[in-house]
Amino acid sequence: MSSLLAVGSVAIDSIKTPFGSRDRSLGGSATHFSVSASFFTDVAVVGVIGEDFTAEDESVFHEREINTNDLQRVPGGKTFFWAGEYGFDLNTAHTLDTQLNVFGDFNPKLSDEAKKSPYLFLGNIQPTLQREVRSQVDARFVAMDTMNLWIDIARDELIKTIGVVDALIINDAEARQLAQEPNLIKAAKAILEMGPKMLLIKRGEYGAALFTRDTYFATPAFPLENVFDPTGAGDSFAGGFMGYLAQTGNLEDMTVRRGIIYGSIMASFNVEEFSCDRLRRVKQEDIQNRLDQFNEFTYFDFEDSPNPRKRSARKVATTAALAK
Ligand code: AMP
């Protein structure tokens, strides 16, 4: 049994960025997620591919020792296809084409092993499919992602799925759209009312924020000069986050915060090259180096301040501000 199970798209993408394009790029929410999470824990993928998915496409799963027993191959079928484009605002992906192909009639029947996974990630795919997988797994902690397409065309189904997870991980534009509320703090409160205990909002190059009913935490993104292809940033963020939670086995406040930092670091590697090209070459020491830098540039205290403050006093103030 793997500690962490992920369902989502395994895709062939066609990507255009201001710096280059690639017609056939290995992608998909489950792909980026599982490659990222595999640096922290043992991961298994639930999904479906077509006959056009090559041994080269599949090699990254084997290289990262990701369990593919629940990755079905449909003879004669075509793999999920997504075409996307980015302008100089790399935080916004413009979808040019989405072809569900083999995902159109995917009916996930999980193996007994997969059903026992303690951590589950419902990657971006139709919300009904996410719920079908969720209902089969008796997990301790379940997180999910989604995107504007499903908020547009399957809103009711999506809200039902959000109601059966512990954490929702989405970007700021999606949060505003889902809550129908332009203010992000109010949007976060409205989304927490839908059921999840935790909401993580990704803000691209500006970082990420965590909302619970009574706490708030935010971090910048790792500063990068060369962002090449942002595809999969959100999934590799979720992979680092969930991978770290599964590795530590607890859900304490500081573990969750560290998970967000690991997620941000994995996303920073992911965006440096097309597909998972950079992520798959990462070494544990590269992660450690970025972790040390992150610690350095987010650190501050009041120890030698003429007006020292206790941490607990500040914590209460933050909580009170959100509770208003
Ligand atoms: P991200 O950049 O992390 O939001 O995710 C990018 C990945 O999502 C790409 O590799 C696509 O293959 C995949 N993707 C795009 N649209 C969809 C969709 N409607 N359902 C599932 N996966 C999608």
pLDDT at position 303 is 82
pLDDT value at position 301? Answer: 87
Sheet bearing 20-27, strands edge to edge = 20-27, 11-17, 80-86, 93-99
Rounded Cα distance between 228 and 26, Å, is 15
CA-closest candidate to residue 240, choices 40, 25, 13: 40
Given a cut of 80, is residue 308 above it in pLDDT? no
- pLDDT at 122 > cutoff 70: yes
pLDDT at position 210 over 90 = yes
Mean pLDDT over residues 6-18, rounded? 97
Supply the pLDDT for residue 285. 98
Q: Which amino acid residue places its CA nearest to atom 6 of ligand 1?
A: 232
**Nearest-10 crossing angle of helices 233-248, 253-270:** 140
Is the confidence at residue 316, as pLDDT, over 70?
no
Predicted pLDDT at 305? 85
Residues 282-311 have a mean pLDDT of 90
Using alpha carbons, select from 174, 172, 170, 68 the residue that is nearest to residue 123: 170
pLDDT band for position 319 (cuts 50, 70, 90):
very low
Alpha carbon distance, N-terminus to C-terminus of the chain: 44
pLDDT of residue 320: 47
3-state secondary structure of 84: strand
Rounded percentage of the chain residues whose pLDDT exceeds 90: 88
Q: In the structure, which protein residues have their CB atom closer than 6 angstroms to any atom of ligand 1?
A: 9, 11, 13, 27-29, 32, 82, 98, 124-125, 147, 149, 231-235
**Interval 145-202: pLDDT, tens:** 999 999 999 999 999 999 999 999 999 999 999 999 999 999 999 999 999 999 999 9
pLDDT band, very low/low/confident/very high, at 313 (cuts 50, 70, 90): low
Q: Are 142 and 122 in contact (CB under 8 A)?
A: yes
Q: Which helix (H) or strand (E) holds 280?
A: none
Query: pTM (2 decimals)?
Result: 0.94
* Nearest residue by C-alpha to atom 9 in ligand 1: 28
Q: What percent of the chain has pLDDT over 70?
A: 95
Probe residue for ligand 1, chosen from 9, 81, 236 as the CB with the greatest number of ligand atoms within 8 Å: 9
Element housing 269 (H / E) = helix 253-270
* 29 Cα to the center of ligand 1, angstroms: 5
Tens digit of each residue's pLDDT (9 = 90 or more) over 33-84: 999 999 999 999 999 999 999 999 999 999 999 999 999 999 999 999 999 9
pLDDT band at 307 (very low <50, low <70, confident <90, very high): confident
Distance CA 283, CA 211 (A): 31
> Residue with structure tokens 């020292």?
308
Res 315 pLDDT > 90:
no
- The dihedral formed by the CA atoms of 49, 61, 273 and 87, expressed in degrees to the nearest 10: 30
- Report how far ligand 1's centroid is from the alpha carbon of 282 (Å): 22
Kindly report the average pLDDT of the chain as a whole number.
94
Instruction: State in Å: Cα 309 to ligand 1 middle.
Output: 44
Which strands form 4-7's sheet, in the order they lie side by side?
67-73, 43-49, 4-7, 119-122, 141-144, 167-171, 198-202, 208-211, 216-219
Distance CA(179)–CA(161), nearest Å, equals: 15
Distances (CA, A) of 255 to 58, 119, 170, 245: 32, 15, 20, 7
CA–centroid distance, residue 142 to ligand 1 (Å): 19
Q: Which of 32, 34, 38, 40 is nearest to 15 (CA)?
A: 32
Task: List the residue whose alpha carbon is closest to atom 1 of ligand 1.
Answer: 232
How far is it, in rounded angstroms, from Cα 238 to Cα 267?
A: 9
| Residue to probe by mutation, ligand 1, list 147, 158, 201, most atoms within 8 Å of CB | 147
Spacing of C-alpha 32 from chain mean position: 8
Measured by CA distance, the residue closest to atom 18 of ligand 1 is: 125
Q: What is the distance in A from the centroid of ligand 1 to the CA of 75? A: 23
Distance 77 CA to ligand 1 centre (A): 19
Higher pLDDT, 89 or 281: 281
CA atoms within 13 A on the CB side of 148: 11
Distance from the alpha carbon of residue 212 to the mean position of ligand 1, in angstroms: 26
Tell me the per-residue pLDDT of 236-249, one tens digit each, with 9 for 90 and over.
999 999 999 999 99
